[in-house]
Amino acid sequence: MTPAPLDKHALVLHPRDSVAVLKTSLPQGFLLQSEHGPIRLRQEIPAGHKVALHPIGDDQPVLKYGQIIGFAHGPIHPGDHVHVHNLKVRDFHRAFRVGEGTRPVDLLPEPERRQFLGFSRAAGRAGTRNYVAIISVVNCSATVARSVQQRFQPEQLARDFPNVDGVLAFTHKTGCGIQPGVPQDTVERVFAGLARHPNISACLCLGLGCEVSHLRHLRETFHFHPGPAETGGPLFMEIQSLGGTRKTVQAASEAVLRLLRCANGMKRTPQPLRHLALALNCGGSDAHSGITANPALGVAVDLLVRHGGTAVLAETPEIYGAEHLLLHRAASPEIAQQLQEIIHWWEAHVRLHGASIDNNPSPGNKDGGLTTIYEKSLGAVAKAGQSPLMAVYRYAEPVQHSGLCFMDTPGFDPVSMTGLVAGGCNLGVFTTGRGSVYGCKPAPCLKVATNTPLFNWMRDDMDLNAGTILDGAETVEQVGQRIFERVIAVASGEKTQSELLGMGDEEFAPWVLGPTF
């Protein structure tokens, strides 16, 4: 058999790598020609999975992206399938060269900066959508909130309130039985962030009346001053004070009608990109995520930052093992310390529960070729581009810095995106290699497929195809430019695939910390 060129069937991502990533599935015995000689596959290896390029001794590091992704579990031979059966995770030293890679942002002159068509809000912010919201602060008021929402059907809204994107009911399973301190503060930051979100022009906060997350406490802690419905509120109602379910549904429906009249007076106007805050998330990753969609999104992030905008990386368990790359470009030692403290908290948190951070990647991630958390994280960090890290935020904390920021969230998509949106992100970009169907309200969410077969198979859910990089049809930079242009278009009102499907009403999921009592 004549050896086939390695670069025709596989990708070597860095000269130091000990593995290559297959572009297509190859059978056992297939012969590849590398620069070091022929490699015969010792097993059938699926697309996206790794093949060993040279011998790797037991417990020796395995490199991809020029970085350690794990250690050999037993000897690995050239042509071996490198995956969960022969690759393990253990602690190892990583060089934390804090700030050495930080470079000033090459901001464009003001006349050259792009704009989007958005809704002007108070405090110099702008929305990409125009919603009226009913925020249930406890699960006990969830059904009432949903009942009020259902009185305002899309057809009626489109006819009577054409400038409003919809009425949203934010319902969840918490708000009471939570501990004071960090657990309560975290949940209430989410509620406050929604009430002030730039994509929500008017809101009604709805409670039962006896819960831990009480409306009075919310108003006092976050300095909410009730306003008339004619100016968008916020309004506050309690079921117990109003005399029960039916009376509350009626009173709340009348209030929402008045809020709708207010919101309908809003219109899109040109807004600078400094008012755009982009949430970055992965969902259903595969081995192509770190090769196509994530680095292309990183290019789009760097473009947005040059135009004065903000991008927020998150999912702390999915930067674990790659945090040194972010620390390398932290804008200050204080920012680096904040990120390191979050990493240490997660290490203690998983130990407390007898868990392991390497339980992530998920089974679907592993089917797609990802093996360890280090490998997944190195690919995930590529979403952040090359811009300096300007700020680190707690979950759902208001994002106030421009440029690249980081927010501490879990890796579970709905919980992570809920924190990012509550922090003020008014648009999201979601990369996926396995096929996420995630949608998000009130912030529209673009989904970027990592490979062409997925994009074609799930065309109704995918907004952009980064698989053209793998196909050789486009460069990472070209796809990044496409993502950037699509971000501006969606910020200006173009619908995402998830919006066209009507998704996003069930994805609101605040992070619940501590025991439930």
pLDDT tens digit sequence for 262-285 = 999 999 999 999 999 999 999 889
Percent with pLDDT over 70 in the chain: 99
As given in the structure block, the two tokens for residue 91 are 């602690």
What's the gap between Cα 482 and its chain centre? 19
User: What does the H/E/C string look like for 356-381?
Assistant: CHHHCCCHHHHHCCCCCHHHHHHHHH
| Parallel, antiparallel or unpaired: strands 131-136 and 200-207 | parallel
**Mean per-residue pLDDT, 31-41:** 92
Strands, E, within 54-130: which ranges? 61-64, 67-72, 81-82, 87-88, 115-120, 126-127
On whether the CB atoms of residues 215 and 205 are closer than 8 A, the answer is: yes
Q: Under the phi-then-psi rule, with left for phi > 0, alpha for psi from -120 to 50, and beta for the rest, what region is 181? A: left
For residues 82-108, b (16+ Cβ closer than 10 Å) or e, as one string? bbeebbbbeeeeeeeebbeebeebeee
Phi-psi label, residue 48: left if phi above 0, alpha if psi -120 to 50, beta otherwise = left
Q: Which of 364, 382, 164 is nearest to 268 (CA)?
A: 164
What is the pLDDT of the chain when averaged over all its residues? 95
C-alpha gyration radius of the chain: 24
Give the neighbor-by-neighbor strand order of the sheet with 19-22: 10-11, 19-22, 50-52, 81-82
Binning pLDDT at 50, 70 and 90, where does residue 514 land?
Answer: confident
Give the separation between CA 15 and CA 64, rounded to whole angstroms. Answer: 9
Are 380 and 294 in contact, with CB atoms under 8 Å apart?
Answer: yes
**Does 46 have pLDDT greater than 90?**
yes
DSSP 167-181: EEEE--S-SSS--TT
Can you name the residues that pair with 126 across neighbouring β-strands?
120
**What's the rounded mean pLDDT across residues 223-247?**
91
Per DSSP (E only), the strands in 326-478 are 389-393, 403-407, 427-432, 445-449, 464-465
pLDDT score at 99: 82
Q: Which residue has the higher pLDDT, 197 or 103?
A: 197
Query: Using 50, 70 and 90 to split pLDDT, how confident is the model at 360?
Result: low
The phi, psi pair for 76, rounded to 5°, reads -115, 135
Closest CA to 241 of 218, 210, 219: 210
The per-residue pLDDT for range 137-167, each reduced to its tens digit, is 999 999 999 999 999 999 999 999 999 999 9
Residue count (the chain)? 517
- 230 versus 248: the higher-pLDDT residue is 248
What span, in angstroms and rounded, lies between the C-alpha atoms of 123 and 127? 12
Residue 326 is inside which H or E element, if any?
Answer: helix 323-327
pTM: 0.95
For residue 52 the two structure tokens come to 């060993």
Cα separation of 37 and 60, whole Å? Answer: 22
DSSP state, residue 404: E
Q: Which residues pair with 20 in a beta bridge?
A: 51
User: So what's the pLDDT on residue 156?
Assistant: 93
State phi, psi for 354 to the nearest 5 degrees: 65, 30
- Parallel/antiparallel/unpaired status of strands 31-34 and 37-40: antiparallel
Q: Which of 86-95, 104-113, 323-332, 406-415 has the lowest mean pLDDT?
A: 86-95
What is residue 336's predicted lDDT score, i.e. its pLDDT? 96
Share of residues in the chain with pLDDT > 90 (%): 87
Half-sphere exposure of 211 (CA within 13 A, CB side): 29
Specify the pLDDT at position 97.
83
pLDDT in tens, 414-434: 999 999 999 999 999 999 999
Please, are residues 408 and 261 in contact by the beta-carbon 8 Å criterion?
no
Sign of the CA dihedral running 44, 50, 55, 56: negative
Mean per-residue pLDDT, 78-107: 89
